[in-house]
Amino acid sequence: MEKQPKSYGEAIAEVEAILARFAGGELDVDTLAAQVKRATELIAWCRVRLEKAEKDVAEALNKGDD
């Protein structure tokens, strides 16, 4: 995997940039597969971050019930 994003926002911005290049016809066949792979990796990274945040919020809310 390429460098890890520093934040969720950075990862989303990179995915959006890839999508914009794709939609604008800026990706040629030679780079398309690599960019799709990168976007897939970033989306998976974001999914892990979201799941962790969801778990942390649920735990924090449950502590308030004690």
pLDDT tens per residue, range 46-62: 999 999 999 999 999 98
pTM of the model: 0.82
In a domain, 40, yes or no: yes
In a domain, 58, yes or no: yes
Q: How far apart (Å, rounded) are the C-alpha atoms in residues 1 and 62?
A: 36
Work out how many domains the chain is built from and give that number. 1
In a domain, 32, yes or no: yes
10 Å Cβ neighbour count for 18?
20
* pLDDT over threshold 80, residue 4: yes
For residue 63, what pLDDT band results from cuts at 50, 70 and 90? confident
The pLDDT of residue 52 is 96
Nearest to 36 by CA among 18, 48, 24, 20: 18
The pLDDT of residue 12 is 97
In a domain, 52, yes or no: yes
In a domain, 3, yes or no: no
The pLDDT of residue 18 is 96
Instruction: Give the domain extent around 32.
Output: 8-64
In a domain, 44, yes or no: yes
In a domain, 2, yes or no: no
Six-digit token string for 23: 């939609």
- Residue pair 15/42 in contact (Cβ under 8 Å)? The answer is yes
For the chain, how are helix, strand and coil distributed in percent, rounded to 5? Answer: 80, 0, 20
In a domain, 36, yes or no: yes
